[in-house]
Structure 1
Amino acid sequence: MKTGVEVAARTDIARHCQYFQIDRAQVAAMPHPLPLLPYEPSNLASRLLAGGQRVLLCGEMGIGKSTLTAELARIILSRGRACLGITADPGSPDFGLPGTVSLGQWREPGWQVLAFEALCTLDAGRFRLPLVTAVNRLISQAPPGLLLIDAPGVVRGIAGSELLTGMVELLNIDTVLMLVRQSKPVPLRNELLALPSRVLAVHAHPEARRSGKKARARKRTERWQAYLGAAHEVMLNLSDIRLIGTPPPVDVPDAWPGRQCAFIDAGRTVSIGEIIALQGGKLSARLPAASETTDVLLLRDARTEKNGLLGSAEPFASSALQYLPPTDVMPYPRADYSGGPRPVAKLNGAFAALVNGVFDDPLLHLRLRQQQRSLLFDLGDSGRLPARIAHQVSDVFISHAHIDHIGGFLWLLRSRVGGFPACRLFGPPGLIGHIQGLINGFLWDRIGITGPRFEIAEVHGDRLLRARIQAGLQNREDLPEVRMTDGLLVNDPLFSVRTITLDHGTPVQAYAFESRAKLNVDQTALKAHGLSAGPWLNQLKQCLVEGDREALIRLPDNTSRRATELGVRLVTVTPGEKLVYATDLADTAANRNALTALARNADIFFCESCFLEADSEQARRTGHLTAQACGQIATAADVRQLVPFHFSRRYETSPEAVYLELTAACSRVVMPPKDSLQGCRKET
């Protein structure tokens, strides 16, 4: 009688033959489905002792890996062999602390911890490379003996595949033991069959069950709080510390309390504790007595939340992009539209839309939600934007004055007749003259004082040369020169915009938009503390925004509390987001270094990807990036999402080639739906 796993595997082979149009005889030499061994720890221990020194135990969460690891260790020790173990699941470790991986030696009645390495995360799938690296450091400290490695329960998708193959290759695993539930297919079967190691597929114990999410959270929290029971407070200057991992922004101090943290020396963990607060450049943390500190501090996303449970903090990342724009951002394509995919990014407080798609003129519309305000990055063909958007544009950021980047100014000029406030334009040297020339190309004898008004600023190094121009007036008004610090163009209560100058054979500006962090009152926490809403909440948020954390806030019951205390208990922080826009730049070392620095850790990176590497000579001659160069810059900057655009028209019938080259250089490329690529081909 065949098991469900064998039946599923044979079905896979049949589908494989049908899909690739090959005969079953041709797959006779292919690896056969893995035979399943019964759950017999004594027999398994004999197999392990017969050969191999490093054993990786795998399987889905709750399948009994930790229980089997302990049983095997007890049996192996009873047969006169030393047995060591590594618990490599930071979320639910069998021994040691949550947020770490630990090395132990089996000594009845259980594991004795010999060493540990901090990860400061409970998410093995997201931080799989740091996890494998930490396990490798523990292996180097292990005394002689058979080593059992209890792997995380990540056995699906890319994370499961990379974790399995990475651990086997980098840790020199000679035996992989995969636990499998009855009637279910073997997880990662193809990856297992491709491994150079011995693979044993074993039936899971029939009573193995995954505990509930809340139960796991309570268990890890109890272990963590017991560890911190005798902790003391240490105070450090943040300026003396090098932060590594994925720390929250230092300008969002409310995101720091409760974060698991570890002090590192020469790549090894010295001590681990929990952040109390970040205030005035001072960092306070709880550490066990006699713990050492260093100048390197590791933080990721493990955090004790306001409910007291140790969990994973929300990552500081923007939401996913989409390709069907909301109607208040831009209209749907006209019948003659052929610009290819038009990505729309949804930020916490804004939408960012590439109005003309990836092939047509550059024009990024950033719509600030609930503000009736828009920002534009470049001014290519604007015919697809309604006039009401032009009425609400407050700032325009021009990369340079080639016609496909500034030709849409005439739409803006015509749409703003009627006494609207001055619109600010920023760009490279010469922009004032270009705008004045465009305005002077028309007769303005009938508009009176309602002519469109513009304030133009040219970037000259760390200086802004400025002028005010109003259509219908003969002379422009030169404004006082402004000095910039660190490229800061706009410092608005809602956002900031910085710029750098790049080379395209002519100066070109790239821009970084950063929204401010937002404070929100946690209504559940408010009720839990028996407090009612009122004007005092606005006062609290204002004090927190202004950094006046020692201010006393009078509550509805006429008592007073410090702002920092109330903030920790009642206020959640939605961090700001960073969007970077860069187009038309030559692939030079200076351009790469400058743009990488500007785009560092950006949530969304809009970057030109004009040519394929096969056409690199054309890219060099015209001062543009190839898809490969675009992807490499995004990878070096560690952006969260790369949105490529400004593709050469020569690829209209094969846009997939551009995306293929991009994804080979960067894993963060936002891919459009296949039907949008097909639609592009039909319309061209």
Structure 2
Amino acid sequence: MSLTNVVLGEAGCDNALFLRIDSGKSLERLLFDCGEDCASTLPFAEVSNVDQLFFSHLHIDHVAGFDSFFRCTYDRLTKPNHIWGPPGTAQILQHRFQGFLWNLQAGEPGEWRVSEIHESEIRTTRFDLGEAFSIAHQESSRPHQGIVWSGAGGTVKAFTMDHKTPSIAYLVEEHSRRNVDTSKLASLGLKPGPWLKQLKDASSDSPPLLIEGAPHDVKSLQDALMTESKGDSTAYLTDFLLDDSTMEGLAESLHGCGTIICEGQYRHADIELARKNYHMTTVLAAKLAKRAGVEKLILFHVSDRYARAEWQEMLREAREAFPNTHYPEHWGIETSASA
């Protein structure tokens, strides 16, 4: 399996995250936020095949590019159309759906579901293209117990943060990886072959596996040869107040995460302004990464109040707290100054 991340948008502009989970059997595409021009930077084939869209919150710089995404997918029938976000997302998205004239689509199929992530429950509302998205069908409610979505290749967890409005932090985790330890084959008197893939894909109660004409119990072979390792993980964090108590709780929830993609809206000298606006500084993001024991921190969503040289200084300051900190590579503003 593999998990790849692409930060969309340029420095000082709206940003989003496009994430792909490739399980080897399926490819799932997840989009986090949809700022202006973000979706339009992706190939049409990628946008039209996004499996799930997750909003952190619905401020304009996180939703302004939704029309580009919706234009590619509004009548999609090849896969479910599902959007996630904080309380109030269904009402705001219905306004976005109805911002166009649908006089030629009466009765046509096409369903959109919007799931609101509340503190203790997830409420899902359905909107139909054939009704011009005019009716909000209250479809279901279920307890919110951490994981909000589970796919073939991984899961998404959600945590409610404070941006003077609920802002959702997301953690994407690949399913555990199952591999065959071929170094143990000789001790069992077995040779490598196509049967190894069959063993990897089989369930423990599958019929005996034929190896060179001889039947072998699948569970016994899996116990002897299979190893399981933790999959990769990515956290998407943007636009919320990171005070001491939030830092402690979030660091625990993200402990051991592979990559954190986190806002770096303010330089640390402006921490009081950051707190006033319920944002982070690059240094606070780096301290969170260090405390959570993550592998890598990518800063994005930087403010255009700063010049390019200041962005570089903000990166240098962050690296003093957490050396493996970077901006998205395509921004081209990495500095050679390291901690």
Interval of TM-score (by shorter of Structure 1 and Structure 2): 0.7 to 0.9
Equivalent in the alignment of 1:367 = 20
- Answering whether residue 285 of structure 2 is matched by residue 627 of structure 1, we say no
CA distance in 1 between partners of 2:286 and 2:334 (Å): 23
Which residue among 499, 519, 543 is the counterpart of 2:158?
499
Shift in Å, 1:632: 1.1
Shift in Å, 1:554: 4.0
CA distance in 2 between partners of 1:650 and 1:451 (Å): 46
Equivalent in the alignment of 2:63 = 406
For residues 78-132 of structure 1, give each alpha carbon's deviation from its aligned partner in whole angstroms, at most 9, with x where no partner exists.
xxxxxxxxxxxxxxxxxxxxxxxxxxxxxxxxxxxxxxxxxxxxxxxxxxxxxxx
Deviates more, 1:602-611 or 1:412-421: 412-421
Q: Any conservation in 2 of the 1:607–1:642 contact (CA below 8 Å)?
A: yes
Shift in Å, 1:628: 1.5
Shift in Å, 1:673: 6.7
For the structure 1 residues 451 and 615, does the alpha-carbon distance in structure 2 shift closer, same or farther, using more than 3 Å as the test?
Answer: farther
Please say which structure displays the higher CA radius of gyration.
1
Q: Any conservation in 2 of the 1:419–1:452 contact (CA below 8 Å)?
A: yes
Q: Any conservation in 2 of the 1:602–1:640 contact (CA below 8 Å)?
A: yes
- Answering whether residue 321 of structure 2 is matched by residue 662 of structure 1, we say no
Shift in Å, 1:448: 4.2
Equivalent in the alignment of 2:234 = 579
For the structure 1 residues 417 and 675, does the alpha-carbon distance in structure 2 shift closer, same or farther, using more than 3 Å as the test?
Answer: closer
CA distance in 1 between partners of 2:261 and 2:301 (Å): 10
Letter in 2 for 1:393: V
CA distance in 1 between partners of 2:70 and 2:328 (Å): 33
| Higher RCO (Cα < 8 Å, 6 or more apart) | 2
CA distance in 2 between partners of 1:568 and 1:406 (Å): 48
Equivalent in the alignment of 2:175 = 516
Q: Any conservation in 2 of the 1:351–1:367 contact (CA below 8 Å)?
A: yes
For the structure 1 residues 444 and 375, does the alpha-carbon distance in structure 2 shift closer, same or farther, using more than 3 Å as the test?
Answer: same
- Answering whether residue 289 of structure 2 is matched by residue 639 of structure 1, we say no
Q: Any conservation in 1 of the 2:170–2:235 contact (CA below 8 Å)?
A: yes
CA distance in 2 between partners of 1:639 and 1:619 (Å): 23
Q: Any conservation in 1 of the 2:199–2:218 contact (CA below 8 Å)?
A: no
For the structure 1 residues 574 and 491, does the alpha-carbon distance in structure 2 shift closer, same or farther, using more than 3 Å as the test?
Answer: same
- Show the 5 A alignment for 1:466-505: 466-473=124-131, 474-485=134-145, 487-505=146-164
Residue-pair matches, total? 325
CA distance in 1 between partners of 2:307 and 2:142 (Å): 43
- Show the 5 A alignment for 1:50-65: none
For residues 127-173 of structure 1, give each alpha carbon's deviation from its aligned partner in whole angstroms, at most 9, with x where no partner exists.
xxxxxxxxxxxxxxxxxxxxxxxxxxxxxxxxxxxxxxxxxxxxxxx
TM-score by length of 2: 0.86
Letter in 1 for 2:168: Q
Letter in 1 for 2:81: C
Letter in 2 for 1:461: E
CA distance in 1 between partners of 2:170 and 2:323 (Å): 23
Equivalent in the alignment of 1:435 = 93
CA distance in 2 between partners of 1:360 and 1:514 (Å): 28
Shift in Å, 1:519: 2.2
Letter in 2 for 1:658: M
Q: Any conservation in 1 of the 2:83–2:114 contact (CA below 8 Å)?
A: yes
Shift in Å, 1:583: 0.3
Equivalent in the alignment of 1:326 = none
Q: Any conservation in 2 of the 1:366–1:375 contact (CA below 8 Å)?
A: yes
CA distance in 2 between partners of 1:436 and 1:462 (Å): 23
Q: Any conservation in 2 of the 1:536–1:553 contact (CA below 8 Å)?
A: no
CA distance in 1 between partners of 2:202 and 2:296 (Å): 32
For residues 208-247 of structure 1, give each alpha carbon's deviation from its aligned partner in whole angstroms, at most 9, with x where no partner exists.
xxxxxxxxxxxxxxxxxxxxxxxxxxxxxxxxxxxxxxxx
Shift in Å, 1:386: 2.7
For residues 425-449 of structure 1, give each alpha carbon's deviation from its aligned partner in whole angstroms, at most 9, with x where no partner exists.
1110000001001111111011345
Q: Any conservation in 2 of the 1:464–1:482 contact (CA below 8 Å)?
A: yes
Letter in 1 for 2:177: K
Letter in 1 for 2:136: R
Specify the SS of the correspondent of 1:595: helix
Shift in Å, 1:451: 6.6
Shift in Å, 1:577: 1.2
Q: Any conservation in 1 of the 2:274–2:281 contact (CA below 8 Å)?
A: yes
For the structure 1 residues 540 and 417, does the alpha-carbon distance in structure 2 shift closer, same or farther, using more than 3 Å as the test?
Answer: closer
Shift in Å, 1:605: 0.6
CA distance in 2 between partners of 1:414 and 1:597 (Å): 39
- Answering whether residue 3 of structure 2 is matched by residue 350 of structure 1, we say yes
- Show the 5 A alignment for 1:234-633: 348-369=1-22, 371-381=26-36, 382-420=39-77, 421-450=79-108, 453-473=111-131, 474-485=134-145, 487-521=146-180, 526=185, 529-531=189-191, 533=193, 538-539=198-199, 541-543=201-203, 553-556=208-211, 557-561=213-217, 563-564=219-220, 566-567=221-222, 569-633=224-288
Shift in Å, 1:484: 2.1
For residues 534-579 of structure 1, give each alpha carbon's deviation from its aligned partner in whole angstroms, at most 9, with x where no partner exists.
56853564335xxx6xx88444243434625x23554354531111
Q: Any conservation in 1 of the 2:55–2:62 contact (CA below 8 Å)?
A: yes
CA distance in 2 between partners of 1:626 and 1:422 (Å): 37
Shift in Å, 1:672: 6.4
Q: Any conservation in 2 of the 1:639–1:668 contact (CA below 8 Å)?
A: no
RMSD: 2.8
Could you tell me which runs of 5 or more consecutive residues in structure 1 were left unpaired when the two chains were aligned.
Answer: 1-347, 680-684
Specify the SS of the correspondent of 1:614: helix
- Show the 5 A alignment for 1:175-214: none
Could you tell me which runs of 5 or more consecutive residues in structure 2 were left unpaired when the two chains were aligned.
Answer: none
For the structure 1 residues 560 and 663, does the alpha-carbon distance in structure 2 shift closer, same or farther, using more than 3 Å as the test?
Answer: same
CA distance in 1 between partners of 2:192 and 2:286 (Å): 51
Specify the SS of the correspondent of 1:584: coil
Equivalent in the alignment of 1:100 = none
CA distance in 1 between partners of 2:328 and 2:99 (Å): 40
For the structure 1 residues 509 and 539, does the alpha-carbon distance in structure 2 shift closer, same or farther, using more than 3 Å as the test?
Answer: same
Letter in 2 for 1:476: A
Shift in Å, 1:665: 1.6
For the structure 1 residues 673 and 501, does the alpha-carbon distance in structure 2 shift closer, same or farther, using more than 3 Å as the test?
Answer: closer
TM-score by length of 1: 0.44
Specify the SS of the correspondent of 1:413: helix
Specify the SS of the correspondent of 1:633: helix
CA distance in 2 between partners of 1:642 and 1:585 (Å): 17
CA distance in 1 between partners of 2:202 and 2:330 (Å): 47
Q: Any conservation in 2 of the 1:503–1:591 contact (CA below 8 Å)?
A: no
Q: Any conservation in 1 of the 2:147–2:156 contact (CA below 8 Å)?
A: yes
For the structure 1 residues 519 and 630, does the alpha-carbon distance in structure 2 shift closer, same or farther, using more than 3 Å as the test?
Answer: same
Q: Any conservation in 1 of the 2:256–2:295 contact (CA below 8 Å)?
A: yes
Q: Any conservation in 2 of the 1:467–1:478 contact (CA below 8 Å)?
A: yes
Letter in 2 for 1:506: T
CA distance in 1 between partners of 2:90 and 2:155 (Å): 22
